[in-house]
Structure 1
Amino acid sequence: MVNPDLVKERQNSTLDVDKLNLFFGQNLLLSTERYKHILNLKKRLTNQIKSLYDENYENLERNDKYELVLRKSIELIEFGLENNIDNYLEYTYIIGEVMGTEKQIFGLHFTMFSISLDLWSTPEQKTHWANFMKQNGIFGTYIQTEIGHGTYLRGLETTATYDSQTQEFILDSPTLTSIKFWPGASGKTCNYAIVMAKLIIDNKEHGIHAFVVQLRSLENHRPVPGIELGDIGKKHAYEGIDNGFVKFNKVRIPRDNMLMRFAHVSPNGEFKRTGNEVVMYACMLIMRGILCMFASLLHSISTTIAIRYSCVRRQTADPSGIEPQIIEYQTQQYRLLPGLATSYTNFFATVNFRNILNEFKKSSENFLKIDSNEIAKLHAISSGLKAIVFEDCLKFAQLNRLCCGGHGYSASSGLQPVIQEADAGCTYEGDNTVLYLQTARYLLKSAQKGFSPHLLPQNFQETKDSKVFVRFEKYTSLFEKLFEAKLREVSERMFYLIEEKNMNQYDAWNNSSLLLVETARIYVSVFVIYTNLKSLNDHSKMECNQNQIVLEELFELYLLYGIVEKFSIHFLKLELIDGTRMTDLQTKFFELLKKVRVNALCLVDAFGWSDSNLASSLGVYDGNVYEKLFDYAKNSLFNKNDVHKVYDKLVKPYVETKAKL
């Protein structure tokens, strides 16, 4: 039986949920037909493999969690093979039915390990490793981060020294800070890895390169001699994943284990560049594209949970004595609905970026012939977009937790893993602040050389000629002017510090870094706006007017939130908006909260998340949250016995002693 408040919410909505869900799926998986096929596979999967949500996962100890996640991961690989699922995004979307928001253990195998082999290998190496992996049951990971180095790739200390006598590379961790730290599934699970190390030939360094390294025996799974590895210990999250440490002690690997598409070492030790090493970034671009989409989907999960719960939870009687749904309170709408709007805008931005990447990959023969200026622009956007979507995901996931009150703090809410994943996502594959600064470096270059830094969605001219663009042009123009003004401001500051204050480039950059970060953040926001205008124009062709109205209201809420909250100080400081107009826009923002609230539940329903995906007692589709919450409490392993064993050991003797006194 569905909670009557949710029944009423769905009846009062003006949204056609099924049509919007199909548009969502079409954007995610590139075709409606493919999306429908994947939905059928998800149903098949739920009948075949029990979900973590139904295995009392959150109440298990770590060893049991690792075993369960590993078992599920293997079962999911088999399911993927049986059903010919070879697209990782589709695979990830499907397995959420089993894993919920928990990571499957072989994520890096299917992403960085496989992508690196595909993009960085010569044709001969690609054939060799494909056959070797298939014949030997290889599970790989990607190893870059060291205990003393992360984002700064050139600072890596792990060495790969070439021995021309034996035609081998000798991998070594020469210092404590050179020990590899954090790579997923490297502690106990994976037997091979792509290892990033500093190439040395005849005492001369030749930069960082990728090497295929065996970590564990294929016979008994013991560590290869010379390699010390293990799990790094308890973390804030990912209890089912064995993030590891790896220390190399003069480990020898064959010369052909260096991936040589862009650099070649001959048998006698001659080093030669064989391609555009900038294309090495392509692997990172693809990974960031995947991560950006993942963050936007993760964001939609926490939003779904919080909005459903807010429609069910009632609190504090009104003058008539009735406790209203908490979503009726303006303070709740203010915390919830900008996050809802941002989850939609970030989704459309990230799928559009994925499409742009795919087009570049196709037109440049797997990035081999891409122009260096184009890859620099893609790198700038990918850096800033990855930073902003995880930043938003973390911010709004935490707000969503707060909107769920005390019950939101229970592990059964499903919000804890979203918060922890988003938290980690602000660091892994590039610290957010560092990524913003990488974007800013490109922006300064564009200002100095006088070219536009903006990356436009495909066929954007059609969007610019549309009614959608006209409707939002005043907002678009405001954000464009803000970006131009901030870029001019930071450029002038850098010039002043260098020319007038005689600072060197490094110090001037450091003393402008906060301004640089904010400029990058605004730049990415302009990209988000452009891509959403395209998606709204695409949706307008579906001839579903009621959904178009709701999506445009939601997008306007996002824009107004950016103006009156996120970037308000900059609009006012740079005199792009005066105080009176800011007050008017804030009033409009509050009015839009009421409009969006009417369709809030159905907007999250349109994401299409199942209860297994959400893994949440508070976000269940039927709204029976208190029943689910109580069931979770009763299933705690702490309740296995009515009297805990420590009672006889500690409490009873103490009480008896006190009684004698």
Structure 2
Amino acid sequence: DMGTYTRLGVHYGLFFGAVRGTGTAEQFGHWISKGAGDLRKFYGCFSMTELGHGSNLAGLETTAIYDEETDEFIINTPHIAATKWWIGGAAHTATHTVVFARLIVKGKDYGVKTFVVQLRNINDHSLKVGISIGDIGKKMGRDGIDNGWIQFTNVRIPRQNLLMKYTKVDREGNVTQPPLAQLTYGSLITGRVSMASDSHQVGKRFITIALRYACIRRQFSTTPGQPETKIIDYPYHQRRLLPLLAYVYALKMTADEVGALFSRTMLKMDDLKPDDKAGLNEVVSDVKELFSVSAGLKAFSTWACADVIDKTRQACGGHGYSGYNGFGQAYADWVVQCTWEGDNNILTLSAGRALIQSAVALRKGEPVGNAVSYLKRYKDLANAKLNGRSLTDPKVLVEAWEVAAGNIINRATDQYEKLIGEGLNADQAFEVLSQQRFQAAKVHTRRHLIAAFFSRIDTEAGEAIKQPLLNLALLFALWSIEEDSGLFLREGFLEPKDIDTVTELVNKYCTTVREEVIGYTDAFNLSDYFINAPIGCYDGDAYRHYFQKVNEQNPARDPRPPYYASTLKPFLFREEEDDDICELDEE
């Protein structure tokens, strides 16, 4: 149930994450004591997006003006476009929210900060004075979550409700800013990282349904009198589904890796001492890398999952269109992931910008994060070619993507430096290079997925599962090259004859993976309750389960529809006459 899942995610992921990420330990403990930890008389939401602003966080317009006389902040919605919009849990449920608002002290605007605001009275759930809330109504999906709008009219909150882990305001109105602004946005990475994992979780459900169905569905026979062929044994059907299976596994490998980096970075931030300059620089470096990596991974993993849902639906034929097999509702529920927590296109451009900035830093001899460390070898990679090496060597496949990504990033960096030299500022130059930024992020992210897949197999897989996982990783890497073959021809790493070899290898690994397809999907350990699609049931008796489900949901009744007398009968019997016999010309 994506509605319930989202409701819990809004509180524990967004509200909780913001309080923990931007509040002090004392503030976090305070809100835990108020019931935020166990949802007791307390449910939090996350008020960032406004009617007029989404991606541009710095442009949010809700205000929080400090009143020195009363030691309070006054929260206001200055005009309709500043209305908080799409706020999950706000319409009916939330008692509190974290509000992103402009901190204004003594007339000076210090930018967007986070504040805890109580929305409703605890005892009777009525709205607090100055709070206006409404339901934004019907959505494409996820109707189980009560998205709402919020307006604030002179809502007063204690000064201590400003979350002060980084930005602090004292009783006299003195403002202390963090040494580096990047730290204040660390909590925003939480959602991006979790959505990479979500992409795997949802993707594995639908690839399992489609592959289980393909293993029992028979159509056509090449030999008269023989059983029809299972559709999973058709080579083209294998090509439709098995690369998607490999993609879902790749998402798991990479999401786990980035999730571990996120956890380590958040712990470093929690333990950071104000006077620890070396620690501060290390944390800032990690946060920058997380921003770039999570932006690209969130975008391309959520797009990939949407693609998996739709392509697996098509692979199930007409039965994929049935509401009882879950594809339609899942797609409608899923695609918001491509928009919230950062529009995918904007995040991709942001990731591309960070890649160019990393290349610029390298040219100046400055350090860069591990995710782009391969750029240090760019001069060695720039003109690299396959030169007869094996396309089943993981190192060669990773190198292929590093050559492609490195060339794109460095060409874009050359153009960027040229534009700066012509007098454009950084923002103007990056806008000119929007397409290059997008392409750089796309290829770099695919390189990351492939490298992480091979790396985790090499370092973590036991002998019993190493080869089956390696077969999947090789299929994913080769299929990815085939899908973007023009890129590798343009960059000179491959020749046309090499593309033919890639195609042959994709076919080979599809055949190999097909032999273990049940094991690959059973390894997800998904119960029929979670699968919730009769054609994807574990025991393989899909038709019986499907027929039973349809008849349970549509029990036998009068064979005439309820609108028979009012509509159907008058339409069919417009003239009460016997059918005329059709005269045939038999000459």
TM over 0.5: yes
In the alignment, which residue of structure 2 is the partner of 1:410? 322
8 Å contact kept, 1:414–1:617:
no
Residue 564 (str. 1) matches residue 482 (str. 2): yes
Query: Does the Cα contact within 8 Å between 1:454 and 1:527 map onto a contact in 2?
Result: no
Aligned pairs for 1:509-658 (under 5 A) are 509-540=430-461, 542-544=462-464, 547-565=465-483, 567-636=484-553, 644-651=561-568
Q: String of CA shifts for 1:83-142, please: whole Å, max 9, x gaps.
A: xxxxxxxxxxxxxxxx48963522211111112212222233222211112696101111
1:388-428 C-alpha deviation (Å, 9 max, x unpaired) = 21121111221111101111111211223432343111111
CA distance in 2, matches of 1:149, 1:121: 24
Q: 5 Å matches for 1:33-52? A: none
- Which residue of structure 1 lines up, in the alignment, with residue 242 of structure 2? 337
Once structures 1 and 2 are overlaid, which stretch shifts more, 486-495 or 548-557?
486-495
Q: Aligned AA for 2:467?
A: I
Partner of 2:535, secondary structure, is: coil
The residue correspondences of 1:240-639 to structure 2 (distance < 5 A) are 240-273=144-177, 276-321=180-225, 322-366=227-271, 369-370=279-280, 371=282, 372-450=284-362, 451=366, 453=368, 455=370, 471-499=393-421, 505-540=426-461, 542-544=462-464, 547-565=465-483, 567-636=484-553
C-alpha contact (below 8 Å) 2:71/2:159 kept by paired residues: yes
**Contact 1:106/1:139 (<8 A) preserved:** no
Task: Report the Cα distance in structure 2 between the residues aligned to 1:581 and 1:654, rounded to whole angstroms.
Answer: 65
CA RMSD of aligned residues (A): 2.7
- How far, CA to CA, are the matches of 1:100 and 1:121 in structure 2? 29
Q: Distance in 2 between matches of 1:506 and 1:118?
A: 32
How many Å separate the matches in 2 of 1:161 and 1:239? Answer: 35
Mean Cα deviation higher: 229-238 or 280-289: 280-289
Contact 2:74 2:155 (C-alpha < 8 Å) held by counterparts: yes
The verdict on how the C-alpha distance between 1:622 and 1:442 changes in structure 2, with shifts beyond 3 A counting, is: same
Q: How far 1:348 moved relative to its partner?
A: 0.7
Q: Partners of 2:13 and 2:53 in 1: how far apart?
A: 22
Q: CA deviation at 1:560?
A: 0.3
Deviations 1:344-378 (A, max 9, x none): 11101111111222233344545664422221112
Q: Structure 1 residues 122 and 360 mapped into 2: Cα distance closer, same or farther (>3 Å)?
A: closer
The answer to whether residue 66 in structure 2 is matched with residue 162 in structure 1 is yes
Q: TM-score, normalised by structure 2?
A: 0.87
Cα distance 1:526–1:131, how it changes in 2: closer, same or farther (>3 A)? same
Is the Cα contact below 8 Å between 1:100 and 1:614 reproduced in 2?
no
Structure 1's unaligned 5+ residue stretches are 1-98, 458-468
Q: Would the alpha carbon gap of residues 508 and 456 (structure 1) be closer, same or farther in structure 2, given more than 3 Å must change?
A: closer
Which structure has the larger Rg? Answer: 2
Letter in 1 for 2:233: E
Instruction: Classify the secondary structure of the residue corresponding to 1:246.
Output: strand
1:171 aligned counterpart, secondary structure: strand
Structure 2: which 5+ residue stretches go unaligned?
Answer: 274-278, 373-390, 578-587
CA, structure 1 residues 221+653, in 2 after alignment: closer, same or farther (shift >3 Å)?
Answer: farther
3-state DSSP of counterpart to 1:442: helix
The equivalent of 1:152 in structure 2 is 56
Q: Secondary structure at the match of 1:103?
A: helix
Contact 1:617 1:628 in 2 (8 A): yes
Give the CA deviation at 1:193: 0.8
- Whether the 8 Å contact between 1:236 and 1:420 is mirrored in structure 2 is yes
* Separation in structure 1 between the aligned mates of residue 290 and residue 329 of structure 2, nearest angstrom: 30
Task: Name the CA distance, whole Å, in 1 between partners of 2:499 and 2:392.
Answer: 21
Distance in 2 of aligned mates of 1:640 and 1:245: 44
Comparing 147-156 with 488-497, greater Cα deviation is found at 488-497
Are residues 499 and 275 of structure 1, via their aligned partners in 2, closer, same or farther at CA, if it must alter by over 3 Å? closer
> CA distance change for structure 1 residues 103 and 123 in 2, over 3 Å: closer, same or farther?
closer
Instruction: State the shift of 1:643 in Å.
Output: 5.0
Cα distance in 2 for partners of 1:503, 1:357 equals 35
Query: Is 1:133 matched up with 2:31?
Result: no
**SS at 1:429 equivalent:** coil
Write the letter of the residue equivalent to 1:625: A
Superposed CA deviations along residues 229-276 of structure 1, whole A, max 9, x for unmatched, are: 122111111121111111222222222111111112223333222564
* Rounded Cα–Cα distance in structure 2 between residues aligned with 1:119 and 1:172: 24
Question: How far apart, in 2, do the equivalents of 1:128 and 1:409 lie?
Answer: 49
Q: 1:202 to 1:652 in 2, by over 3 A?
A: farther
1:453/1:614 CA distance change after superposition, 3 Å: farther
Work out the CA distance in 1 between the residues paired with 2:299 and 2:519. 29
- Distance in 2 of aligned mates of 1:307 and 1:452: 45
Change in 2 beyond 3 A, CA 1:452/1:422:
farther
Give, in angstroms, the shift of residue 563 of structure 1: 0.9
TM-score using structure 1 length: 0.78
- CA distance 1:443–1:367, shift in 2 (3 Å): farther
Q: CA deviation at 1:549?
A: 1.5
Secondary structure of the 1:618 match is helix
Q: In structure 1, how many angstroms separate the alpha carbons of the residues matched to 2:4 and 2:557?
A: 25
- Cα contact 1:263–1:275 (8 A) shared by 2: no
- Code of the residue aligned with 2:501 in structure 1: it is D
Q: Return the offset for 1:640.
A: 7.2
C-alpha distance 203-631 of structure 1, shift in aligned 2 (>3 A): farther
Shift of 1:651: 4.2
| 2:19 partner letter | L
Task: Kindly state the Cα deviation for residue 510 of structure 1 after the two structures are TM-superposed.
Answer: 2.5
